[in-house]
Amino acid sequence: MLSKALSLSKGRVESISACFLNIDNFLFLCYYCQKRNTKVDSMSDIFRFGISLPKDLIDKFDKLIRRKNYTNRSKAFGDLIRQELIKREWHEGKEVAGAIILIYDHHKRELLNKITDVQHDFQKAIISTQHIHLDHNNCLEIVAIKGNPKEAQKLTDNLKSIKGVKHATLSMSSTGKDIA
């Protein structure tokens, strides 16, 4: 069914059955659409296609995206696709971008020195840090990173495991180069 759908791709509007919708086929179609669009000069070129889904599923999807403030399905679908493409970038070890958020009590002995030491060890991956004093005791630090995904994860793990760090989380994003 997917090949049938793709064979129709010369038209501007395509109808594709839901049966292709396992995530790999869906991503393949996304890559295909992206590749196809790069052949066109205009950045605003839009590829339109129809998809068929069970009514119950689309009703739930509509309810979900309304709660998330989306005003149309296209933007919501686009964001889901981007999320999957970004996951794949991390999985495939491409250059990625993201941010680590840390919460810690700066009164803990040697904690600041340890955090600084770890950050110096990963100096190539860190592009910026921001320190915010949340209250008398607690600090929030945002570490912006760009580079190898494994290094980003290792940096997060090393920061998280320092005694006195209350919470550390890695937000995985993309450099945006391969995401339309």
User: Which parts of this chain interact with Ni ion (CB under 5 A)?
Assistant: 106, 133, 139
Which element (helix H / strand E) includes 49?
strand 48-51
Contact assessment for residue 141 and residue 101, using Cβ atoms and an 8 Å cutoff? yes
CB of 164 to Ni ion, least distance (A): 13
Q: Which is nearer to Ni ion, 29 or 139 (CB)?
A: 139
- What is the rounded CA–CA span in Å between residue 158 and residue 160? 6
Q: Which is nearer to Ni ion, 97 or 139 (CB)?
A: 139
Cβ within 8 Å of residue 87, ≥6 positions away: 172
CB of 109 to Ni ion, least distance (A): 15
CB of 59 to Ni ion, least distance (A): 47
CB of 78 to Ni ion, least distance (A): 38
Q: Which is nearer to Ni ion, 139 or 145 (CB)?
A: 139
Q: How many CB atoms lie within 10 A of CB 125?
A: 20
* Helix segments in 39-174, DSSP class H: 55-67, 73-92, 111-121, 149-160
- What is the rounded CA–CA span in Å between residue 97 and residue 148? 9
Q: Which is nearer to Ni ion, 5 or 165 (CB)?
A: 165
Cβ within 8 Å of residue 159, ≥6 positions away: 100, 102, 115, 118, 119, 143, 165, 168
Residue nearest to Ni ion according to CB distances in the complex: 139
Q: Which is nearer to Ni ion, 139 or 143 (CB)?
A: 139
CB of 140 to Ni ion, least distance (A): 8
